[in-house]
A and B are shown apart, each in its own frame.
Chain A
Amino acid sequence: MNIVVLIKQVPDTWSERTLSDSDKTLDRASSDAVLDEINERAVEEALKIKEAGDAEVTILTVGPDRATDAIRKALSMGADKAVHVNDEALHGSDAVTTAKVLAKAVGTVGDVDLVLAGNEATDGRSGAMAGMLGELLGWPSLTHANALTVENGTASVKRETDEGTCDVTASLPAVVSVGEKINEPRYPSFKGIMAAKKKPVSALGISDLGLEAGEVGLAGSLVQVDSFAPRPPKSGGQKVEDEGDGGQKIAEFLVGQKLI
C-alpha cells in the first residue's frame, strides 16, 4: 500500500503570531515554527498501517526551506521518504490554490492508495484540506477520524466533530483526515533520528508539477487580502479583591452593563 501523509509547519501557538506588513501574509519569521501537532497523529496512523502490513509512507509538505525540520521529524518517526514542494512562487497561496498544488504533488508519488492529513491546522484553520484534495483528485474524503481501519480496498472511520459522530466508509483510493483523539504519536527514537538523515527527500518546484507562476501564490489565489489590523488590546478592566461580596460586585457590574 502506498500512503502519503500531508504535514505542515505552523507557527507555535504558544508564541505570538502576526502578519507581515508588506504583503499581508503570515509572518513566519517572527514566531517559532513547529510540526503541527495533529500531523504527528496522521504520521502515527500511517506508521500503524505500515507496521500491520506492508506500506510505503511518503511525507508531503508545501512550505519554505525551514519546513525541512518538520519533514525530518516525520521521517525520524518512521516514514520512508518525503516530497518537499518549495518554490518562492508559492508564497501567499490561498487554500484553494494550496489544494491544487497538493493534488499535483500527490500525482508525483505514483499509485497512491491513501492520503492521510490532520483535520485542521492551528494557523489557517480552514479545516477542509482533506475534502478539497479529495474533490480535486476525484476521491472520497473521510474526515475527522478518531479511528481508522483500512482493509480489502475500503477505508472505514469513526468520524467525530463538535456536531456529532457517525461511521463513514469509502473505497480506496481515498483521503482521510484524522482528529486529536485517534492516537498518541510516538516519540522519534535515537535510531530513528539518525536514520532520518539518510532518507530521500525530493525537492520539487512548481514547474516540476506542471504549474505556472501565475497559477499559484499571491497572483494565482482566488482571495486577496486587502488589509489587516491587530485587535485593539483590551484594556484590562476593573479588578477587585473579594471581600466576601465578590458575587454581588459582579452582579452590580452586569446590571451596569445591562447584561442581567
Chain B
Amino acid sequence: MAEVLVLVDHVDGEIKKNTYEMLTAARRLGEPSAVVVGTPGTAAKLAEGLAAHGAEKVYVAESDDAVNYLSTPQVDALAALVERVSPPAVLIAAGADGREVAGRLAVRTNSGWLNDLVEVDGQREGTHSIFGGAFTVQSHATTDTAVISWRAGSIEVEENAGAGTQENVELPAIDEAKSARVSNRAPIVGGDRPELTEANVVVAGGRGVGSADNFNVVETLADSLHAAVGASRAAVDSGYYPNQFQVGQTGKTVSPQLYIALGISGAIQHRAGMQTSKTIVAVNKDPEAPIFEIADFGVVGDLFSISPQLTEEVGKRSS
C-alpha cells in the first residue's frame, strides 16, 4: 500500500486533534506516515499518540532551526519525503500556517493542491466546501501527488494502532536569502475552553449581547456545554469580544455538531462561517432575523432570560 504523508500539527508538545483526523483520512487512502517537524526531542513526545491513531511510520525532521524560520523547514521536510516515497497524497491542516506550507509545497513539487477538503474521495481526489459552505465541489489532482489541506472537524477520529516506526529525515541547511526568520513566537492559548475550529459545540454571541460584560452570559452557557465561544463580526467590531474568536467570512469557519447563536442576526457573511454546522440553534428578539432561515431550532425572545435558563437545564441533565 502506498504511503500517505500527514504533517503533524503540534504546539507545546501536544498534538492537535486535527492531526488525528488527518491520520484517519489517510488510512482510507493508504498507509499513514506522520511527519514531525520540530526541535530535537519533539517526536519522542508525540510518537505514542501518533502510533495510537494509525501512523505506521513517523518521519522525524528535527533541528534547532526548525522553529526559527517561517514554513520553510516544513516545506523542506515534506518536499524531501515526496521525492523519497512518491506519496499519492500529503495531508496538511488547513489553518493559516498549514495552508502556507501546502501552497509552497505544491509549487515546489509541482503538485495539484486540493485546498480545504472536507472529504477524501480517492487517492488524489476529494470534496471541498466553498463560499462558506454554499457549495460542495469535487475535484482531483492530475499530478502524481496531491497536496491536501484538511479542514478541521470534517471526520470522526478513529483509533487504529499503527507501528509508529521512527525514521529520521535530514533537514537541509537554511538559505537565509530565501527564508524568513522567526522570533518571539507566541501561540494563542484559548484557556480552558476547546479551540474554536476544533470544538464539538460552539456558543456564539452577536450584537444583541450588547456589551463586553454581557458576554459572560454566552461564556457561562458555553462552559456548561464544554463549548468554544465565538462572536459575530458585529460583536467583535463593537469591542465585545476579541478578534480571534470571530466566526464568519473574515473570521474563522466552524463546523461543529452544535452551533448556538445568541443575538446574532445571521448576515450572509456570518453564515459563511458557520452554516455547515450539523445542528444550529438560534435565539433572537427579531422574528425576521435571517439566522432563523438556517436554524434547526429557533426561539424568538430575550437571550438574557433564555440563555441562563438553558444553562440551568443543561446543568440538571449533566449532574
Contacts and interface: CB of A to CB of B under 8 A. Distances in A.
Contacts of A221: 112, 142
Interface in B131-185: 131, 133-143, 176-185
Contacts of A13: 249, 268-269, 272
B180 A141 contact: yes
Interface residues of A, number: 80
Given A96-B107, A226-B125, A164 B317 contact: no
A140 B281 CA distance: 45
A13 B279 CA distance: 24
Contacts of B260: 250
B298 A143 contact: no
A56 interface: no
A221 B114 CA distance: 12
A131 B100 contact: yes
A141 B104 CA distance: 10
Contacts, number: 270
A248 B298 CA distance: 12
Contact of A127 (B96, B279, B281): B96
Q: Which 3 pairs between the two chains have the least Cβ-Cβ distance?
A: A242-B301, A247-B309, A128-B103
B21 interface: no
Nearest to B105: A135
A12 to B, nearest CB: 10
A234 interface: yes
Contacts of A143: 70, 96, 100
Contacts of A183: none
B245 to A, nearest CB: 9
A118 B33 CA distance: 34
Interface string A51-92: 000000000000000000000000000000000000000000
A225 interface: yes
Given A126-B115, A226-B138, A166 B186 contact: yes
Contacts of B113: 94-96, 126, 222-223
A35 to B, nearest CB: 15
Given A122-B249, A222-B110, A241 B301 contact: yes
B3 interface: no
Nearest to B250: A180
A29 B71 CA distance: 37
Interface stretch (B24-32, B40-48, B57-65, B289-297): B289-297
Given A143-B100, A166-B184, A226 B140 contact: yes
Interface in B211-237: 225
A253 B281 contact: yes
B14 interface: no
B295 A96 contact: no
